[in-house]
Structure 1
Amino acid sequence: MTTARPTRRGERRAAAELPVARVAVDVPLAHLDRPFDYQVPDQLADDAQPGVRVRVRFSGRLVDGVLLDRVERSDHVGKLGWLERVVSPEPVLSAELAALCRTVADRYAGTFADVVRLAVPPRHARAEAEPVGGATLPTTLPTPLPTTLPTALPTTLPTTLPTPPPPAPNQDGWRRYRHGAALLDAVAAGRGAHAVWQPVPGEDWPGRLAEVAAGALVAGRGTLIVCPDQRDVARVAAACGELLGQDRVTTLTADLGPARRYRSWLAIRRGHSRVVVGTRAAAFAPIADPGVLVVWDDGDDLHAEPRAPYPHTRDVLMHRAHATGAALLVAGFARTAEAQLLVESGWAREVTAERTELRAAAPRVTPVGETEAQLVDDPHARAARLPRVAFDAARAAIGRGEPVLIQVPRAGYVPGLACAGCREPARCRHCAGPLGLPRAAVGGGTGAGPGANGSASDTAVSPTCRWCGVAAPTFRCATCGSRRLRATVVGARRTAEELGRAFPGVAVRGSGGGADVHATVPAGPALVVATPGAEPWVDGVAGGAGYGAALLLDGWALLSRPDLRVAEETLRRWMAAAALVRPAGAGGRVVVAADPELAVVAALVRWDPVGHAAAELAGRTEVGFPPAVRMAAVDGAPDAVAELIAALLLPDSAEVLGPAELDPAPSGAVRERALVRVPRTDGRALAAAMAAGQAARTARKAPDPVRVQLDPQEIG
């Protein structure tokens, strides 16, 4: 028998068991996106477990990392460095989350370290040291006290109170939808069902999602619900807490702050919370054994991560559902083309209501100029910003004592100017830049902007060019010769002033657009001016649908944006506002200021998000745009973009579009974008080629960075 040689003072000895640690080091270089092997010192053997944060020496300096695994031997033929220290024995990356981070990195041509940075919040030592547990014993005695004592007392007292069993999910609200009850049955049975759900207008959708969470708890599994913003998170968390108990629900958002966010994250990781409601980053929440994953309003751009590698919440949850066997629910009043693809491919089942249910729940939607009679009654209806039909709808709702919602696409006062005769954008004679009013004139409501009729010809302030700053006091339209100007988009502040004058004595409330964003408003008569996404619910009404009318103004401004998703995004914003209006049978009415012949307007009138999504997907399939194909956007300096595109080992099916010039960077540098598209079957090859190209650039320390984004949300 041999004995181990005693170590000298300061000498490190490798751990007796599994002495090699595989570590993902936190370095941003794409060519180093792989695990590295380190020796585990004997004194760190107990704490150096898979998933913990560690510090290692890499390229001569100490860097952070995550220990992925412990193995018996390394494939590296050289000498291994030592694990310097374990930052914390708290495992922060389970095997399931590590695999998910790797999958997301590969799909979006990113690095594992970048995805881990999105998935795991920064450590907060004080929060980590605090005990995280369930309900504690009461500190006060019950009243009245019991009159008899038990015959035998327990020898030990429990430290926590028992948690009552979860309630069985109520299917009544889901029976109005085709396959709704079947969805709840599948979740309660632990089956991995996939569904796309479009609630009817006025639906108490937070309550329905809470019932889905109850089904997962019955199956002994967890629930993860991801919403686009804090207001929706608060609504869903409140509904889940009311149905399931507050001790079962944890919210996870960036607004919590470092300490509270990490404390909530630890409560989830340690298994003290089975229902998680959060924003974008919560898609990676370390919930044990997820039974159902939900993304609400997947078309909201807040679900798209603005940091590399730019993953989308919907795709993250799809990969997680596939890996864990959890059910997936994609929900929202509107439907995206990506969700429609899930349905048409057979991967998901649609959960929708019958037309009779829709007609009973939806408000009456009226486009401006939809009938000849309306135009005869109001000849200037299509040119006016607030036509008579909108005023009539607002007056009727106010007369019934109900609030009116006015959705305005832009915040502020008067963002831009156009010819009042032909609506051509007003351009500078000197540089052809866009004309606007000076900030001093539009910022304080001094009356320098256009009047209620949209005209700016009588203003004492001359329009100026936003590019060169030259004043244009003698503007004349190059197209029609008119000298009159009008505001292209009147912002929320100006709209509130105009409506306040038109409805004297009626309260005017603002939400968003520079004003405070309100979660709710009282049920009494009022004018509520809100920007898209900031529409408040009405107090005391299920689903918040207590508005008597909604005016959707400046629809052409939403539809004139040069973007692939413009129609889909416009319908999503309109439906979110219209869903807060009472049914047509109760007098609810929506007036949309847009051309009634447009397909998106017709979809709103019919309340047909499914048909619009199907047409949108068919159109993108015909022209070859996502999600019918996989596409990568390559942005950067012209030479750098050309160099990367030339070096890529693309599949034979790849097609390169561009490059085209983008708006200049803040520094004034010229930027270009090239698009590369392939069939969906070659999506993995495209991502691998992009990752390899970025790795080659970082390996040779190319000076100009290039941003690679797979399936970009904005394609102009």
Structure 2
Amino acid sequence: MARVLPLLGLAHLDRPFDYQVTAAQDEEARPGVRVRVRFSGRLVDGYLLERIEASEHPGRLGWLERVVSPEQVLTPELAVLARAVADRYAGTMTDVLRLAIPPRHARTEQAIPAPPGTPVPPTVDLAGWEPYRHADSFLGALADGKAARAAWQALPGEDWPARLAELACHAMISGRSTIIVVPDQRDLNRLEAACTELIGDRVVSLSAGLGPSARYRRWLRALRGQASVVIGTRSAAFAPIPNLGLIVVWDDGDDSLCEPRSPYPHTREVAVLRSHAETCALILAGAARTTETQALVAAGWAHDLTAPRAVVRERTPRIKALSDEDNQVARDPLARSARIPAVAFDAARAALAADTPVLFSVPRRGYLPSLACERCRSHVRCRRCHGPMQADGPSGASGAGIGMLSCRWCGHPEADFRCAECGFTKVRALTTGAGRTAEELGRAFPGVPVMTSGGDKLVESVDAGARVVVSTPGAEPVAAGGYGAVILLDTWAQLDRTELRAGEEAVRRWLSAGMLVRPHGQGGTMVVVADAGLTPVQAVIRWDPVGYAQTELDERTELAFPPAVTMASIDGAGPAVVAFAETVTLPEGGEVLGPVELPAGVRLPSGLDRAEVPDPQRILLRCKRSDGRALAAALRVAQIGRNTHHETSPIRVQMDPPTIG
């Protein structure tokens, strides 16, 4: 007999079922293989969880229809992790396994296995870790196979891909494997180059951009033990690599590490659960630090891996912001109103004169991504879908006088603008994008090459020498030898958001850009065009991400916001959201917040369109952090009741929603 998990995706059927196995299937029907079973009269896919001698089910059992493949793709460790993630996020194990195991590619599975990789290096140079306090203790624990857990703050200018490759090689020498997860393809390319140089072909890279055959081939290499290091984006956290010794998550504050599909797990939490279940080491790393990581450190579950302040000061560039005490700002009467004040221009000129590149960071891509009527200041909206309009460039004259307009949502062009409120035909820019900024800087620095990076035009790296680079946050190219200056423009667009994580996200973006600048001893300068008195700006000036994260955590603890508490969101049409919330039995002390209007930046659940839902709403459920599992269990029970009553209006239930407010 066999115990099988059918892939049904329904909360009330998220459990194993027993099936009989024929003599012909007995050899191939092993735990972890894909199977087909008949459930409620139809054939469905499933995974065989275990073989059993007898079933406790008193009724008649069905037969296993067939074994799809003898490959044991669901390892015992992965099954435990999938169940833990489903319980943590009030989801189903079926949904988690769809995220964790790629679709089968039969021809790839039947191909001849790859030969063993290059030999394990005898030693690895770990001198790059010497500046960090307690690094020797962590490296010793990693070599001994202990479950050390750390929060690593990379120094400014640190070659973090090389440091992580050294950690993976160190674990490999001690006979353990490593998983390293990064937010995007650009980071993955840098990490792959560093790991391949040090470790050779024992590295497997997994990303969403691979085709089904290539991705499944690499995934099988990890499963079959033909690789010692798995690197990749979000789903690589589930990689079925044997004898796992270390998990690393780089830049856990990046939004791309939050899975957009049910049950919406965050890579950081998956790594934490896996580290606990498989007793392996864990590093949460980055230029900045999230409050979630700081909460783990404050609780004593993880420990700091940071450099002394003297070393931090030595490595940081000279950081400037707009301050009343700054004589240069005081002499510039337009410094606070100008988009690029004189202090920023002076830093750029000095860097270009020293034959070093200059980076201008702009929070919006495009030309003029946000517009308003010049007379009444009403936002310019699309006539078709009511989405925000943008100016695509300086040419193509229209009634706006600044070029052709188009909708950022549906792409509908608008040749003749007329304000719906006052009938005026001229617009003004609310924000300036990277394209317009590059155009302005090209005129300001004649003869200097100007290039842009962002959107669908990403630049991986730039050569040394005088040049101007205009980039959106997260798309900054790496400069050979480092940038001579980095100018952060339009910082208000990042700080003025009415969102819980606005300050944290701004600090993360700014420090990531600052990582690319030369140290102040080599003339590196960073200019933040923002008020120096603001707390996030002060954190950047001091280069103190740990202190800022602790301050944020203290404030959220006082206000009962995540991660000091556990929250869950229920999104969808108003009546359905209210009805579902009424069926949830909250833990003692739990609270119901709302309903409120669903935030504009949050999409509706699958199957709903904002144009078709006149009153999309959100309800937040809040409880003590220690009651998080109880809240997830209560949501699961409510979902089971909803399924059994055949409720049809889609809702989305999400633990720890990324957007609150």
Quickly name the TM-score band, shorter chain normalised.
over 0.9
Question: Hey, what does 1:252 align to over in structure 2?
Answer: 206
Question: Hey, what does 1:9 align to over in structure 2?
Answer: none
Question: Hey, what does 1:504 align to over in structure 2?
Answer: 446
Question: Hey, what does 1:668 align to over in structure 2?
Answer: 612
Answer yes or no: is the 8 Å Cα contact 2:370–2:429 preserved in 1.
yes
1:174 aligns with 2:123: no
1:198 aligns with 2:139: no
How many angstroms does 1:133 deviate by? 2.4
How many angstroms does 1:383 deviate by? 0.9
1:566 aligns with 2:502: yes
Question: Hey, what does 1:154 align to over in structure 2?
Answer: none
How many angstroms does 1:643 deviate by? 0.9
Cα gap change, 1:462 to 1:178, in 2 (>3 Å): closer
**Partners in 1 of 2:396 and 2:321 — Cα distance?**
31
**Partners in 2 of 1:713 and 1:348 — Cα distance?**
22
**Partners in 1 of 2:324 and 2:517 — Cα distance?**
20
1:444 aligns with 2:388: no
**Partners in 2 of 1:615 and 1:186 — Cα distance?**
30
Gaps of 5+ in 1: 1-19, 136-160, 451-455, 478-482
| CA deviation map 1:540-572 (0-9, x unaligned) | x4xxxx111111111000111221111011110
Please tell me the residue identity of whatever aligns with 1:67: L
Provide TM-score, normalisation by structure 1: 0.86
Question: Hey, what does 1:360 align to over in structure 2?
Answer: 314
Answer yes or no: is the 8 Å Cα contact 2:576–2:651 preserved in 1.
yes
**Partners in 2 of 1:331 and 1:646 — Cα distance?**
40
Question: Hey, what does 2:258 align to over in structure 1?
Answer: 304
| CA deviation map 1:27-62 (0-9, x unaligned) | 121111101111111111100100000000111111
User: Which of residues 638, 645, 662 is equivalent to 2:574?
Assistant: 638
Cα gap change, 1:297 to 1:430, in 2 (>3 Å): closer
**Partners in 1 of 2:566 and 2:31 — Cα distance?**
35
Question: Hey, what does 2:267 align to over in structure 1?
Answer: 313
1:597 aligns with 2:533: yes
Question: Hey, what does 1:331 align to over in structure 2?
Answer: 285
In structure 1, the residue corresponding to 2:466 is in which secondary structure?
Answer: coil
Cα gap change, 1:309 to 1:193, in 2 (>3 Å): same
How many angstroms does 1:462 deviate by? 10
Please tell me the residue identity of whatever aligns with 2:73: V
Question: Hey, what does 1:221 align to over in structure 2?
Answer: 176
In structure 1, the residue corresponding to 2:209 is in which secondary structure?
Answer: helix
Cα gap change, 1:547 to 1:21, in 2 (>3 Å): same
**Partners in 2 of 1:386 and 1:200 — Cα distance?**
28
Answer yes or no: is the 8 Å Cα contact 1:198–1:331 preserved in 2.
yes
User: Which of residues 352, 377, 382 is equivalent to 1:398?
Assistant: 352
In structure 1, the residue corresponding to 2:530 is in which secondary structure?
Answer: coil
Answer yes or no: is the 8 Å Cα contact 1:414–1:449 preserved in 2.
no
1:289 aligns with 2:230: no
In structure 2, the residue corresponding to 1:255 is in which secondary structure?
Answer: coil
Cα gap change, 1:464 to 1:255, in 2 (>3 Å): closer
How many angstroms does 1:461 deviate by? 8.6
**Partners in 2 of 1:448 and 1:172 — Cα distance?**
59
**Partners in 1 of 2:269 and 2:380 — Cα distance?**
44
How many angstroms does 1:429 deviate by? 13
Please tell me the residue identity of whatever aligns with 1:323: A
Please tell me the residue identity of whatever aligns with 2:330: V
1:362-511 map, 5 Å: 362-369=316-323, 371-417=325-371, 426-427=378-379, 439=390, 442-446=391-395, 471-472=418-419, 486-511=428-453
Question: Hey, what does 1:622 align to over in structure 2?
Answer: 558
How many angstroms does 1:240 deviate by? 1.5
In structure 1, the residue corresponding to 2:431 is in which secondary structure?
Answer: coil
Greater Cα shift, 62-71 or 184-193: 184-193
How many angstroms does 1:260 deviate by? 0.5
Question: Hey, what does 1:74 align to over in structure 2?
Answer: 55
**Partners in 2 of 1:464 and 1:54 — Cα distance?**
47
In structure 1, the residue corresponding to 2:63 is in which secondary structure?
Answer: strand
Cα gap change, 1:28 to 1:106, in 2 (>3 Å): same
**Partners in 1 of 2:292 and 2:421 — Cα distance?**
49
Q: How many residues align?
A: 647
In structure 1, the residue corresponding to 2:538 is in which secondary structure?
Answer: helix
Please tell me the residue identity of whatever aligns with 2:129: W
1:675-694 map, 5 Å: 675-694=620-639
Gaps of 5+ in 2: none
Cα gap change, 1:187 to 1:472, in 2 (>3 Å): same
How many angstroms does 1:447 deviate by? 7.7
User: Which of residues 470, 476, 485 is equivalent to 1:535?
Assistant: 476
In structure 2, the residue corresponding to 1:389 is in which secondary structure?
Answer: helix
Provide TM-score, normalisation by structure 2: 0.93
Question: Hey, what does 2:464 align to over in structure 1?
Answer: 523
**Partners in 1 of 2:158 and 2:407 — Cα distance?**
47
User: Which of residues 21, 42, 47 is equivalent to 1:40?
Assistant: 21
Greater Cα shift, 233-242 or 298-307: 233-242
How many angstroms does 1:700 deviate by? 1.4
How many angstroms does 1:585 deviate by? 1.1
**Partners in 2 of 1:476 and 1:353 — Cα distance?**
59
Identity %: 53
In structure 2, the residue corresponding to 1:247 is in which secondary structure?
Answer: coil
| CA deviation map 1:55-111 (0-9, x unaligned) | 001111111000000101111111111100111000000111001000000000000
Question: Hey, what does 1:700 align to over in structure 2?
Answer: 645
Q: Which has the larger radius of gyration?
A: 1
In structure 2, the residue corresponding to 1:487 is in which secondary structure?
Answer: strand
**Partners in 1 of 2:287 and 2:57 — Cα distance?**
54
1:578 aligns with 2:514: yes
Please tell me the residue identity of whatever aligns with 1:413: Y
Question: Hey, what does 1:608 align to over in structure 2?
Answer: 544
Answer yes or no: is the 8 Å Cα contact 1:630–1:678 preserved in 2.
yes
**Partners in 2 of 1:132 and 1:429 — Cα distance?**
56
Question: Hey, what does 1:709 align to over in structure 2?
Answer: 654
Please tell me the residue identity of whatever aligns with 1:492: A
User: Which of residues 29, 33, 37 is equivalent to 1:52?
Assistant: 33
**Partners in 2 of 1:394 and 1:96 — Cα distance?**
53
Please tell me the residue identity of whatever aligns with 1:336: T
Cα gap change, 1:486 to 1:287, in 2 (>3 Å): same
Question: Hey, what does 1:17 align to over in structure 2?
Answer: none
Cα gap change, 1:93 to 1:465, in 2 (>3 Å): closer
Please tell me the residue identity of whatever aligns with 1:471: R
**Partners in 2 of 1:474 and 1:465 — Cα distance?**
20
**Partners in 2 of 1:103 and 1:269 — Cα distance?**
20
User: Which of residues 180, 183, 197 is equivalent to 2:138?
Assistant: 183
C-alpha RMSD over aligned residues: 2.7
How many angstroms does 1:417 deviate by? 3.4
**Partners in 1 of 2:255 and 2:622 — Cα distance?**
22
How many angstroms does 1:600 deviate by? 0.1
| CA deviation map 1:505-543 (0-9, x unaligned) | 1111111134x211111112111111111111113x4xx
Please tell me the residue identity of whatever aligns with 1:626: P
Answer yes or no: is the 8 Å Cα contact 1:55–1:63 preserved in 2.
yes
Please tell me the residue identity of whatever aligns with 2:301: W
**Partners in 2 of 1:634 and 1:505 — Cα distance?**
55
Greater Cα shift, 329-338 or 642-651: 642-651
